[in-house]
Structure 1
Amino acid sequence: MIRTVTYEDSLVLNDAFDDEQQTSNDDDKEPFHGSVYDDEAATLTSFCITSNDESPSRSISDSNFPRSTDTSKSAWIADRQQLDNDSDSPTWHLLKRPHYGTNGLEYPLLNENRIEGHRAKVKTNELKNKESGISSGFLLPLLISAVFVLSLTAIILLITVIVLTTKNGRISEITDANCSTNIPRFNANYKPFRQTMWQNLQQHSDISRKLMSSFRPMNIRDNIRWLSEKVHVAGTPENAHIMRRLAEQYESYGYEVKTYDYKVLLSYPIYDRPNRIEYSDESGEWIEVSNGLGERLGPEEAKLQQADPRGLVYWTAYSQNGTAEGSIVYANYGTFDDYSQLDKLGISLNGKIVLCRYGGIFRGDKVQMAEDRGAIGVIIYNDPFDYAKDNNANKTFPDRVWMPPSGAQRGTLLKTDGDPETPFFPSKHYTYRTEREDQLRSRRIMPNVPVMPIGYRDAVKIMQNLDGPLVPWSGWKGNMNATYRLTGSTRFRLSVNSVTSRRTITNVIATMRGSDEPDRYVLFGNHFDAWIQGAIDPNSGTATLLEMARVLSSVSREIKWRPRRTIMFCQWDAEEFGLIGSSEWVEEFMKPLQQRAVAMINVDNINGNTTISVKAVPLLYRAIVDATAKTPSPSSSGHRAGRMTVLDSWKFYYPKGPVAGDKSIPGISIPGSGSDFQRFISYLGIPIADIKFECAPVYSYMVYHSMYEIPWTVENLVDKDFAAMSAVGRLWLELGRNLADSIIIPFNVLDYSLMLNDGVVKMIHQLEHIGINFAIGKTTFTSMIGNMRDALKRFQSSAESMQHIIHSVNRGQEAVTIRQAEMLNNRVQNLERAFIFEQGIYAERTQYRHLVFTSSEHNDYSGVLFAGIMDPAIRWRNAYASGDLSRANHWLETVKISFTKLQYAIESAILTLNLQGFY
């Protein structure tokens, strides 16, 4: 087997020789240098080829040598610099350079004496062969003449090679004409590949239009119908059936499909023993308030889709099994401020059942803070003020999208991401389970009290039976037909029947390998498990992702094109229970993902048709804007108002962008949690975007996690012609195509620096308002802030230089070599990772490692900036106000070290972007 090692290969340090002999595609007729190693003959042949016409001339020297037994996986390659410096001999010197051979053996250094010795030995062998092979004397003159002619020809050809290759300089020098980079920053530091690449803007535009025009909305409708046929909760046979069918669908489109199993701790209701709420009347008899069941509504078609009795049951995952008896305390939305208001009034939660309404924060945070104050149970309901805005029973489901009185929101209460029994490790067969359920409940990662969701049909009965003080704040009053009170003397009984069980969950990953950079991945993410049928959440996203996969595969085959980088379609299991499927996958593949993942673009659901809602990191702001500018708006009312693209509508409804003074970017939220993107950004530092299509200006996805998320609802109330879902598919695919196919990954590093500047300014004002500057010491605090501002200025300067190059290359204004593109892509791809601190943002939140983007400590849904500083600062204030000076000092020290962590991350980001290296 003959294998070739080229000079270019030595620069990029390929892991193995190619299986087929490589040839040069040297269009500019420059020298091609390399060496050929013959495994069988143990011969390394070095060569130099120049082409002035179709017949190349060659200068060849052979060296025979035995293989070493050293298995250090390095091979010897030819170095053309040495050839240029040796004017006496055209022979290549063999110098040691790290290069991996397929046989895993190292080839020894051949010095000048050994080379000459081998050459002499070869000549001796050749003479012996000639003497033994010539039997007739008349052949000798003929042979001498032939040798003379060949030698003369070789000398002439060699002179030609030298003249041509030195005409514009030495062989070892790659001139600007050969390089054509137009980027002098590179030329001063090293010699890049000769062949350059230009961004083909017309080709990108043509492919983009082809992809967008290939969507078939009715395919999305059909996908939603089969995805929503049955209740498919994670860990059940019905969900396993969905998983298998998804895998088959992707395989039918031609993708490489793999599945990944994990055994995780899940929670379920006992469906034939629904949860209940009762109250005791004056005679001591228990009167039913809620039977824990919803009500089938709508026309016959809709009712048939609600036929499964499991869909009627009200429940929340990971609630403690058991019964609680006590009086009720109403806590509004159950936020930190709401509980603080009750504390100020002297209303204790100890031994009480808390009634709070959905909204504002994550349901698990409502329960955890109630339990921290001694509550023995929690009831959560949908108030019509939030979920039925028109306050009219005839304007709720099935007539409108508002939540009907019997509608209740299911959901998880888990206060961690991933399998709670195996933090930091994937739940594989080899994994030791470090946590037990009793430990998790004692630390309130899982509730230690019974919790039940209900509709306002039942909540109004509770409020009507309270006889305590009236609610004094207008913001605490909802729209139920009852007087809102804080407490009452009536005794209530909450009964919850639930179990926990280890079940197998399975992720499905469908892959299209990239043509040029297959080891860089752009991920499309969506989950496929649901609380009931899940026609909106998640099936609207799942159905759209399937159509995207069909379109990409079809267009790829039709026009013989694949994106430069690999695209992965990721279907996550058990998202609803706490981002479990995606978290386990992230933990299993953490190391390769940190090295290879470019971005993760997530769509959880599509619940409206007016505008998009976006959470994203600054690196992706411009790429999202570019994709929305190319995507036609699905809103007919928007068209009548002149808003023809998704970008037009987005700017109209969310005009205030995240970058101060820049109106070209509409409103984008800080990524917190709430869907599968969370672990990619907060744990690995992989840039993310989370996109939804919704109604505006009034949010109208009120049947969220209820039994009314059925195909009938989508087809009649949400997206009748599936134009919104098709628009999301076009936007989603175009964004991914741009990330996967641009020569330089189209991140905007300058936006990152600008956002950091704005964020630090706001953080300083908040810290000064809290009073942390005086606690640290004014001089010390001023010095800390000065250091950080200096680092931010240097970061912005580096970002501006890098962004100019990225913009010029991706706009087709400058060319780069393969090596230069690799260098640039490595830098921009690793920028987000610079803000990951592996030990966690602080000791109490080790699973959150991103120093800039993290969810709020008191609201897992909400994203905040610099939580590693702001969380401890708020804790310091509370501890100091309560007189707990020991805890206050602890949190003050945490603030100080968190400043160091953030400064260190900014300095690391500067070094990551630096084109001159870090020395």
Structure 2
Amino acid sequence: MSQFPFFSFIMLSFLFFFKSQFGGEPLSYTRFSLARQVDGDNSHVEMKLAADEEENVDSNMRGNQTSIAKPKRLNGYVCYGIIAVIVFFLIGFMIGYLGYCRRVESQDCGKEAGTQPSCPEETETFESEEQLPGVPRIFWADLKSTLSGKLDAVDFARAIKMLNENSYVPREAGSEKDTSLAFFIENQLQDCKLSKVWHDEHFIKIQVKGSSQNSVSIVSTSGNGSQAYPVESPEGYVAYSKAATVTGKLVHANFGTKQDFEDLNMPVNGSLVIVRAGKISFAEKVANAESLNAIGVLIYMDYSKYPIVNANLPVFGHAHLGTGDPYTPGFPSFNHTQFPPSQSSGLPNIPVQTITRAGAEKLFQNMEGDCPRIWGTDSSCKLVSSQDKNVKLSVNNVLKEIRILNVFGVIKGFEEPDRYVIVGAQRDAWGPGAAKSSVGTSLLLTLARILSDMVLKGQFKPSRSIVFASWSGGDFGAVGATEWLEGYLSSLHLKAFTYINLDKAVVGTTNFKVSASPLLYSLIEKIMKDVKHPLNGLSLYRDSNWISKVQKLSLDNAAFPFLAYSGIPAVSFCFCEDTDYPYLGTPMDTYETLNREVPQLNRVARAAAEVAGQLVIKLTHGVELNLNYEMYNDEILRFVKEMNLFRADIRDMGLNMQWLYSARGDFFRATSRLTTDYKNAEKTDRSVMREINDRIMKVEYHLLSPYVSPRESPFRHIFWGSGSHTLSALLEHLKLRKKNNGAFNQTLLENQLALATWTIQGA
């Protein structure tokens, strides 16, 4: 708009020039002023006045056809003609200029979607295309439509079924069938014509059942001596259990959470503990029991939570309170790499074993005391073993070194190939693994094929790279993924900006659940509004308060080490029910079971692929990085509010909250400066935008505590990690001051508060 006065000046200069040269009088333009130019109606005024002049000229010429024109009038006609040409030229120029301005304004609105209200999707474009001459702009609506159309043509159910054929089942990590499937996936990625396809190998230690059977038996101490009665020799087992034999009283501790043990009001030291599967991981159950000096743990699936008809169904899991190879903590398990002998502090020092529901019911027959009704478990459940009955647990698992393969494929970005989003899925499984690994693997291969096809056809030009990863060792605690992270720990957080986990993405139909870094909340919400539920056709976005229901990434989720160990924003999602999918980690995790439990499996898998595909495109295509770092302001504020509940206790200890308030203020000001820099940046300047995006990438990483050892406390994230350095541990410790003052340590609390404050201030 500011160009209009300049155009007016040019036009007036032309008029005065022609008047002086030809003696013509610009009668129609004497009313044209700069003030009227600003109104924005002048193009119409100019067109009308120019047309009037042409009519006057034509009538004069018709009225004087037989006369000879005077030279002066001829000069005037020439003047008017030239003026008309100039006017039409300027009108066309201004119309084109206004159209260009509107397109640029629309584009800028779309680019700032992370910090400003977004424009309608029909006008949203991606700035990266502006740098490529001869390439048409790519609209977000077009990308969505193209992705959706290609997904419609995929038979996901057939792909899942193929991955569960006998040639690939069972595929325990490092087995021949796991390796065979790895090479199949590598060939499939090569057929997709990706920029590069390769595999890494790692040599890791896992635990398998030994030659001697694990066993559970009841020992009767009545009469003159003790006598053992076998309960079962389970087919399932718990990897990384301590190999040992223990005997003692058996106590039921519900799910084995910390709260369950507190509510039990019964000592468990010197006793075995039996717990239900669910709520928390096997490893956390074992750690909680061991912390209270229990001597062993039994885990079973009750019918109330897992309504499986087969009461003799075996269960598999692992007890490592961590991820990766527990015998090379903090180091990558590459071949021939020598490390000093060490093992993870997360390995249990007590034996652990899964038992069937039938086995648990046999034990309950030799126990007494009904389980609390509030537990909502089976009626057969009992609390403690009878006076003259003990339980004997024998675990004989052995270590085994195996080779596992991680398979990778990459679509290189056109502008920043050294910045990438990672899309990953577990490949191995104890048992068939249809829901556990086949669904994720089929989604991975489908997305690789579709996105590569879009790139090859010029329908999609990602600025950043896309890495597709097939991990092995997932059933033993995300071993493959963690070993890769450990191998490239020093550089990954500088290059990888998001991990998208596809594991267990389809285990139901009713709900769409998300676990993610707050940096991804805004982007996830936009995609939830775009993607329709596969069965009812409504948007996945149903609740404006959905963020409050986001679940923390669990220890047994492959996305967890990316976020808590490496400081890389991560997301995991699933279509699921209110209850857990009961067949994971069992021989019943088959395609037939999944197809029966998930109606319209093909449509649900397609919706999961659409969510992941839109995430990938949004994160890699535009100039701006779709990570909303301002969401951590809310997380820090929430923590400060919780701390304020203990303000009196903190004051009684001679401490104050001022430093924490200051740290929160510093973080808020830092995010505000970053937002201001982003808004003021020239979006077409790649170097400037790269610098800003790199600052955004580092927000998550800077929330890893620099004050603890990555080896001793690998999950250093103060919000989502585990250990005394986390904010949740600080709050739990504060609560001890009122609950159990004898267990409270003021010196430890002072250190926790100081380190948390410094981490927030330095983020």
TM-score of the pair, normalised by structure 1: 0.64
User: What secondary structure does 1:254 align onto?
Assistant: coil
Q: In the aligned structure 2, how far is the partner of 1:618 from the partner of 1:873?
A: 20
1:368 CA drift (Å): 2.2
Give 5+ residue unaligned stretches, structure 2.
Answer: 1-100, 110-128
Q: Is contact 2:705–2:759 with CA below 8 Å preserved after alignment?
A: no
Show the 5 A alignment for 1:109-508: 202-215=138-151, 216-227=153-164, 229=166, 230-255=169-194, 256-270=196-210, 273-281=212-220, 284-292=226-234, 313-342=235-264, 345=265, 347-388=266-307, 396=308, 404-429=310-335, 431-436=337-342, 445-467=346-368, 469-471=369-371, 473-476=372-375, 478-485=377-384, 488-508=387-407
- Alignment TM-score, normalising by the size of structure 2: 0.76
Deviation digits for residues 436-456 of structure 1 (CA, Å, limit 9, x no counterpart): 46xx5xx5x322322111222
In the TM superposition, what is the alpha-carbon distance from 1:273 to its structure 2 partner?
A: 4.9
Structure 1 gap segments, 5+ residues each: 1-175, 184-194, 293-312, 389-395, 398-403, 660-666, 807-813, 858-866, 909-919
How far apart are residue 608 of structure 1 and its match?
1.0
Identity of aligned residues (%): 23
Tell me how far apart the structure 2 counterparts of residues 476 and 235 of structure 1 sit (CA, whole Å): 39
Whether 1:628 and 2:485 are equivalent positions in the alignment is: no
Tell me which of 529, 534, 541 is aligned to 2:440. 541
Structure 2 distance, partners of 1:366, 1:182, is 51
Asked if 1:755 corresponds to 2:601, the answer is no
Amino acid at match of 2:721: T
- C-alpha spacing 1:371/1:896, structure 2 compared with 1 (3 Å): closer
State the Cα distance separating 1:709 from its structure 2 match.
0.1
Which of 706, 709, 732 in structure 1 is aligned with 2:612? 732
Name the amino acid aligned to 1:235.
Answer: G
Structure 1 719/201 Cα, relative in aligned 2: closer, same or farther at 3 Å? farther
Residue 563 of structure 1: which of 443, 462, 465 is its match?
A: 462
Structure-2 change in CA distance of 1:369 and 1:541 (3 Å): same
Give 1:583 deviation, angstroms: 1.0
Change (3 A) 1:447 1:363: same
Number of matched pairs: 633
Deviations 1:850-902 (A, max 9, x none): 23332477xxxxxxxxx5244145346648976658x7143123223223323
1:914 counterpart residue number: none
What is the identity, as a one-letter code, of the residue corresponding to 2:362? K
Instruction: Report the 3-state secondary structure (helix = DSSP H, G, I; strand = E; otherwise coil) of the residue aligned with 1:501.
Output: strand
Using the alignment, how far apart are the partners of 1:480 and 1:496 within structure 2?
29
One-letter amino acid matched to 2:282: R
**Paired letter, 2:480:** G
Paired residue type of 2:228: W
Distance 2:477 2:664 in 1: 38
Amino acid at match of 1:816: T
Check 1:219–1:902 CA distance in 2 against 1; reply closer, same or farther (3 A cut): same
The answer (yes or no) to whether the contact 1:224–1:543 under 8 Å persists in 2 is: no
Q: In the TM superposition, what is the alpha-carbon distance from 1:529 to its structure 2 partner?
A: 1.3
Relative to structure 1, the CA distance from residue 684 to residue 436 in structure 2 (aligned partners, 3 Å threshold; closer, same or farther) is closer
The answer to whether the 8 A contact 1:529-1:574 is kept is yes
- Equivalent in 657, 666, 686 of residue 791 of structure 1: 666
Counterpart of 1:387 in 2: which secondary structure? coil
| In structure 2, C-alpha distance between the alignment counterparts of 1:634 and 1:895, rounded to whole Å | 46
State how far apart, in whole Å, the 1-side matches of 2:160 and 2:710 are.
Answer: 45
C-alpha distance in structure 2 between counterparts of 1:844 and 1:868, whole Å: 16
Mapped partners of 1:506, 1:775: distance in 2:
56
Deviation at 1:669, TM superposition (A): 2.7
Q: Against the structure 1 CA distance between its residues 374 and 535, is the aligned structure 2 distance closer, same or farther, given a 3 Å change threshold?
A: same
CA contact (8 A) 1:523 1:600 kept: yes
Which stretch shifts more, 717-726 or 562-571? Answer: 717-726
Distance 1:182 1:668 in 2: 31
CA contact (8 A) 1:519 1:566 kept: yes
Q: Is the 8 A contact 2:300 2:360 kept in 1?
A: yes
Letter in 1 for 2:525: V
Against the structure 1 CA distance between its residues 869 and 716, is the aligned structure 2 distance closer, same or farther, given a 3 Å change threshold?
closer
Question: Aligned Cα RMSD in Å?
Answer: 3.2
1:872·1:891 contact (CA, 8 Å) conserved in 2? no
CA 289–685 in structure 1, closer or farther in 2 if over 3 Å, else same:
same
Take 1:511 and 1:831, find their aligned partners in 2: how far apart are those partners?
25
SS at match of 1:559: coil
The Cα offsets for residues 206-250 of structure 1, whole Å up to 9 and x where unpaired, read as 122111211244245334433453111112222111211111111
Matching of residue 670 in structure 1 with residue 552 in structure 2: yes
Residue 581 of structure 1: CA displacement? 0.9
| Equivalent-residue separation in structure 1 for 2:278 and 2:428 (angstroms) | 23
SS at match of 2:207: strand
Choose which of 726, 747, 753 in structure 2 pairs with 1:868.
726
Deviation at 1:762, TM superposition (A): 2.8
Could you tell me whether the CA contact under 8 Å between 1:197 and 1:817 is conserved in 2? no
- The amino acid that maps onto 2:246 is A
Partner of 2:562: 680
Instruction: Note closer, same or farther for the CA distance 1:893–1:817 as it changes in structure 2 (3 Å cut).
Output: same
Q: In the alignment, which of 495, 510, 515 is matched to residue 610 of structure 1?
A: 510
Where is the helix percentage greater, Structure 1 or Structure 2? 2
Q: Work out the CA distance in 2 between the residues paired with 1:750 and 1:355.
A: 44
Q: Is the 8 A contact 2:633 2:667 kept in 1?
A: yes
Please tell me whether residue 694 in structure 1 is matched to residue 580 in structure 2: no
Q: Which residue of the partner structure matches residue 424 of structure 2?
A: 525
Quote the offset at 1:838 in angstroms.
3.3
Alignment CA distance shift 1:251-1:493 (3 Å): same
| Structure 1 residues 603-658: Cα deviation after superposition (integer angstroms, max 9, x where no partner) | 211211223211112221121122222223212xx34xxx2x3334xx3xxx5333
Separation in 1, partners of 2:525, 2:326: 37
CA distance in 2, matches of 1:277, 1:902: 47
Which residue does 2:603 correspond to in 1?
A: 723
CA distance in 1: counterparts of 2:466 and 2:349, whole angstroms: 42
Q: Which residue of 1 aligns with 2:717?
A: 850
Distance change >3 Å, CA 600–CA 200, structure 1 → 2: farther
Q: Deviations over 1:797-834 (max 9, x none)?
A: 3355357569xxxxxxx853223322332222222223
The 2-side partners of 1:728 and 1:846 are apart by 34
Give yes or no for contact 1:525–1:600 (8 Å, CA) kept in 2: yes
Measure the CA separation in 2 of the matches of 1:351 and 1:288. Answer: 21
| Partner of residue 656, structure 1 | 545
Secondary structure of the residue aligned to 1:835 is coil
Tell me the secondary structure at the aligned position of residue 441 of structure 2.
helix
* Structure 1 counterpart SS, 2:155: helix
Shift in Å, 1:574 = 0.8
Quote the offset at 1:708 in angstroms. 0.5
> Which AA in structure 2 matches 1:207?
L
| CA distance in 2 between partners of 1:196 and 1:213 (Å) | 26
C-alpha distance in 1, partners of 2:722/2:546? 20
**Secondary structure, in 3 states, of the residue corresponding to 1:537?**
helix
Q: What letter matches 1:505 in structure 2?
A: I
Instruction: Name the CA distance, whole Å, in 1 between partners of 2:374 and 2:468.
Output: 43
Return the offset for 1:845: 5.5
Give the match's secondary structure for 1:214.
helix
> Is the 1:750–1:803 Cα contact (8 Å) retained in structure 2?
no
Checking the alignment, whether the CA contact within 8 Å between 2:720 and 2:726 is kept in structure 1 is: no
Identify if the C-alpha distance between structure 1 residues 870 and 483 changes in structure 2 by more than 3 Å, giving closer, same or farther: closer
CA distance in 2, matches of 1:486, 1:799: 61
Q: Deviations over 1:636-690 (max 9, x none)?
A: xx34xxx2x3334xx3xxx53337xxxxxxx423334322212221222211111
Equivalent residue for 1:743? 623
CA contact (8 A) 2:663 2:760 kept: yes
CA distance change for structure 1 residues 631 and 568 in 2, over 3 Å: closer, same or farther?
A: same
